[in-house]
Chain A
Amino acid sequence: METVNVLTPAVRQTAISGMERLRADFPILGIRVEDKPLVYLDNAASSQMPQIVIDRLVRYQKTQHANIHRAVHHLSGIATQEYEAARRKLQCFISAREEREVIFTSGTTDSINLVMHGYGRKFIQEGDEIILTALEHHSNIVPWQMLAEEKGARIRVVPINDAGELLVEEYEKLFNSRTRFVGLSHVSNALGSINPIKRMIATAHQHGVPVLVDGAQAAPHLKIDVRDLDCDFYAFSAHKMCGPTGIGILYGKAHLLESMQPFKGGGDMITSVSFEKTTYNEIPYKFEAGTPPIAAAIGFGAAIDYLEQIGLDAIAAYEHELLVYASEQIRALPGVRIVGDCQNKVAVISFVMDGIHPHDVGTLLNQDGIAVRTGHHCAQPIMQRFNVAATSRASFSFYNTKKEIDTLVEGIRSVQKVFAQ
Chain B
Amino acid sequence: MSLKSIYQEVILDHNRKPRNYGALRSPSHHATGHNPLCGDRIDLDINMHDGRIDEIAFRGESCAICKASSSMMTNAVKGKSFQEAEELIREFREMLVDGIEKDFDHLGRLKVLAGVRDLPTRIKCAILPWHTLHAAMNSVAGATTEADDHEDQLVANNH
- A86 to chain B minimum Cβ distance, whole angstroms, is 35
A344-385 vs B, CB cutoff 8 Å, 1 = contact: the mask equals 000000000000111110011001000000111000000100
The answer to whether residues A367 and B3 also contact, given A357-B62, A359-B122 and a CB cut-off of 8 A, is: yes
**B8–A390 CB distance below 8 A:** no
Task: Check B63 against A359 for contact (C-beta < 8 Å).
Answer: yes
Across-interface contacts of B61 in A (CB, < 8 A): 389
In the A-B complex, the 6 residue pairs with the closest CB atoms: A389-B39, A357-B63, A359-B63, A360-B64, A360-B63, A359-B38
Known contacts A360-B64, A390-B39; 15 additional CB pairs below 8 A are A356-B64, A357-B62, A357-B64, A358-B63, A359-B63, A359-B122, A360-B63, A363-B121, A375-B38, A376-B39, A389-B38, A390-B38, A418-B4, A418-B7, A419-B12
Map CB proximity to A onto B1-31 as digits: 1 under 8 Å, 0 otherwise: 0011001100010010000000000000000
Bound Cα distance A325, B107 (Å):
48
Mask for B49-73, Cβ within 8 A of A = 1, else 0? Answer: 0000000000001111100000000
Q: Collect the chain B residues with CB atoms within 8 Å of residue A359's CB.
A: 38, 40, 63, 65, 122, 125
- Taking a contact as CB atoms under 8 Å apart, the answer to whether A421 and B8 are in contact is yes
| A230: min CB distance to chain B, Å | 38
27 A–B contact pairs at CB < 8 A?
A: A357-B38, A357-B40, A357-B63, A357-B64, A358-B63, A359-B38, A359-B122, A359-B125, A360-B7, A360-B63, A360-B65, A363-B121, A364-B3, A364-B4, A374-B38, A375-B38, A375-B39, A376-B39, A389-B38, A389-B40, A389-B61, A390-B38, A418-B4, A418-B7, A419-B12, A419-B15, A421-B12
Chain B, range 90-121, C-beta contacts under 8 Å to A: 119, 121
Pairwise interchain contact A363-B3, C-beta atoms closer than 8 A: yes
- The secondary-structure label for the interface of chain B is helix
A383 partner residues in chain B, CB cutoff 8 A: 39
For the complex, give the distance between the alpha carbons of A418 and B8 in Å: 6
B155, CB-defined interface residue at 8 Å? no
Q: How far is the CA of A86 from the CA of B37 in the complex (A)?
A: 36
The docked-state distance in angstroms from the alpha carbon of A375 to that of B125 is 13
- Contact partner of A367 among B4, B38, B40, CB < 8 A? B4
Q: Chain B, 117-145, contact with A by CB distance < 8 Å: what is the 0/1 string?
A: 00101100100000000000000000000
In the bound complex, what is the Cα–Cα distance between A279 and B41 (angstroms)?
A: 53
* Residues on the A chain within 8 Å of B40, using CB: 357, 359, 389
Q: Contact between B64 and A375 (Cβ–Cβ < 8 Å)? A: no
Q: Whole-angstrom distance between the alpha carbons of A7 and B15 in the complex? A: 50
Pairwise interchain contact B119-A363, C-beta atoms closer than 8 A: yes
How far, in Å, is B9 (CB) from chain A's closest CB? Answer: 9
Q: Which A residues lie within 8 Å of B119 (CB)?
A: 363
CA distance A360 to B125 in the complex (A): 10
Q: B122–A363 contact, CB under 8 A? A: yes
Shortest B132–chain A CB gap in Å is 17
Rounded to whole angstroms, the CA-CA distance of A358 and B65 in the bound complex is 12
Taking the closest CB of chain A, its distance from the CB of B116, in whole angstroms, is 9
Q: Mark A73-98, 1 if CB is under 8 A from B, else 0.
A: 00000000000000000000000000
Q: Which of B7, B12, B40, B62 has the most C-beta atoms of chain A within 10 angstroms of its own C-beta?
A: B7
Q: Which residues of the partner chain A approach B4 to less than 8 Å between Cβ atoms? A: 364, 367, 418
CA distance A360 to B67 in the complex (A): 11
Asked whether B8 lies within 8 Å of A375 as measured between CB atoms, the reply is: no
Q: How far is the CA of A418 from the CA of B64 in the complex (A)?
A: 12
Q: Give bound CA distance, A389 to B38, whole Å.
A: 7
A378 to chain B, nearest CB (A): 11
Chain A, residues 308-339, CB within 8 Å of chain B (1/0): the string is: 00000000000000000000000000000000
CB <8 Å contact, A418 and B12: yes
Minimum CB–CB distance for A102 against chain B, Å: 35
A8 to B105, CA, bound (A): 67
Q: Give Cα A167–Cα B157 distance, bound, in whole angstroms.
A: 52
Taking CB atoms, residues of chain B closer than 8 Å to A357 are 38, 40, 62-64
Complex Cα distance, B40 from A376, in Å, reads 11
With A418-B7, A418-B12, A419-B12 in contact, is A358–B122 under 8 Å at CB?
A: no
When C-beta atoms are compared, the residue in chain B nearest to A383 turns out to be B39
Give the distance in Å from the alpha carbon of A367 to the alpha carbon of B119 in the complex.
11
Q: For B37, give its contact among A363, A364, A375 (CB under 8 Å).
A: A375
Complex Cα–Cα for A262 and B143 (A): 41
Distance A363 CA – B15 CA, assembled complex (angstroms): 16
What is the bound-complex CA distance between A389 and B35, given in angstroms?
11
B112 CB to closest chain A CB (Å) equals 16
